[in-house]
Amino acid sequence: MLRRVAEGVLVHQSALLRNNTVVVQGRAGVLVVDPGITGEEMACLANDLRESGRPVVAGFSTHPDWDHVLWHAELGEAPRYGTARCAAHMRDVLSNADWKARVVEGLPPEIAEETPLDLFGLITGLPAETARIPWDGPRVRIIEHPAHAPGHAALLIEECGVLVAGDMLSDVLVPMLDDTADPIGDYLVGLRLLEGVAGDVDVLVPGHGSVCGADRLRVRIDRDRAYAHALRDGRALDDPRIGPSAEPGWEWVSDVHTGQLRRHAQRRQRDGTPD
């Protein structure tokens, strides 16, 4: 279930959406980042950690999308951190009386009955500008940025050069933009911040898709930037994640792209930006 990608760093990938759960070994236990998306996966992860003598001492959610704020009772009661904005967003979500129905409505139907929501979104927000995760383990730098979702953060595990990118730099998903005043500009800011630490990275773990080395990291940054620029300018683009070249089973990403293309064409028209 768990695969070693660097010294002291393990990854489990979910079957359906290829979500990557990251486990970082510390002195007293492990940090779990973005645990898997079904109850069975999370219980299996908890069992594997327990059998190997690695209790969960901390958790972290890279951002407040549903598949990154899940938890399972078998993982224990360790503090589950996120950025202040991520936690605030989740408080807003959970303040709605019908939050569970709304979340279930957005789940993939294949796993809607298999995704436990009892501990959904219970994130402890770290004070703004917190630079590192507070835990007894390797130094994990928090790189917060405005791309994709409120309070999104990548994590850089400094001792082994592993970048946990959240929902960015994927080889199967195109950049998925947040609904902000300047979503493309925000995404480009996020890419610049990730590019700023690229020289310290040996291994990239995206939120979805394939783990890769430093040689592919810059390729993925350039590809995501090219996508954002083409979307901004209303230009056609050749991207292997969409169209006929999309990976089998991921054809729906082309629908995501079409929707974003339409929304940003409407934005350009509304703002008077020429095509």
Give the 3-state secondary structure of residue 22.
strand
pLDDT of residue 268: 81
Burial class (CB in 10 A: 0-12, 13-18, 19+), 117: middle
pLDDT of 221-258, one tens digit each? 999 999 999 999 988 889 999 989 898 999 999 999 99
What are the structural domain ranges in the chain? 3-271
Burial class (CB in 10 A: 0-12, 13-18, 19+), 177: buried
Mean pLDDT value across the chain: 95
pTM, two decimal places? 0.95
CATH of domain 3-271: 3.60.15.10
pLDDT of residue 7: 97
CB 89 within 8 A of CB 49: no
Specify the amino acid at residue 49. L
Q: Which residues contact 92 (CB under 8 A, 6 or more apart)?
A: none
Is the pLDDT confidence value at 275 over 60?
A: no
> Angle between the 99-106 and 84-94 helix axes, to the nearest 10 degrees?
110
pLDDT of 101-110, one tens digit each? 999 999 999 9
Tokens 């809607």 sit on residue: 112
pLDDT of 64-116, one tens digit each? 999 999 999 999 999 999 999 999 999 999 999 999 999 999 999 999 999 99
Specify the amino acid at residue 229. H
Tokens of 225: 């930037």
pLDDT of 15-73, one tens digit each? 899 999 999 999 999 999 999 899 999 999 999 999 999 999 999 999 999 999 999 99
Tokens of 86: 């991520």
